[in-house]
Amino acid sequence: MRADAFDNVKCPFNYKKELMRARRALDAKVAKYVSKNRAKSYRNLAQEFNLSLGTLSKIARHHQQERKPGPRSRQNKQLTVPLDDAAPAVGIESPDTE
């Protein structure tokens, strides 16, 4: 990042607000890079950005809507049976007293 990146910020300013704005911008850049480099492991990407694996995962998860969808696993799909096709309800019948 350039040393003059915040020259447009007028003094005095809200430090926390500007810090959060910068962090959101950097997080978006990291998430975009992660999205474009899906072949690389999160561990390698974390080392490239000098971040912990947990921090990188949190950034990627937060920006998940913006990432390209990858192949979906078929293992997690649940089979649902429509109510009409389900097994018929069996009622308890009283014995005939004739």
Question: Could you read off the pLDDT of 15-45 as tens digits, one per residue?
Answer: 888 888 889 999 999 998 988 888 888 899 9
Reduce the secondary structure of the chain to three states and give it as a string: CCCCCCCCCCCCCCHHHHHHHHHHHHHHHHHHHHHHCCCCCHHHHHHHHCCCHHHHHHHHHHCHHHCCCCCCCCCCCCCCCCHHHCCCCCCCCCCCCC
Per the domain annotation, does 80 fall within a domain?
Answer: no
Number of domains composing the chain: 1
Q: Is the pTM of this model over 0.85?
A: no
Q: Is residue 82 domain-resident? A: no
Mean pLDDT for the stretch of residues 48-61 = 91
Q: Considering the domain boundaries, does residue 44 fall inside one?
A: yes
Range of the domain at 64: 15-68
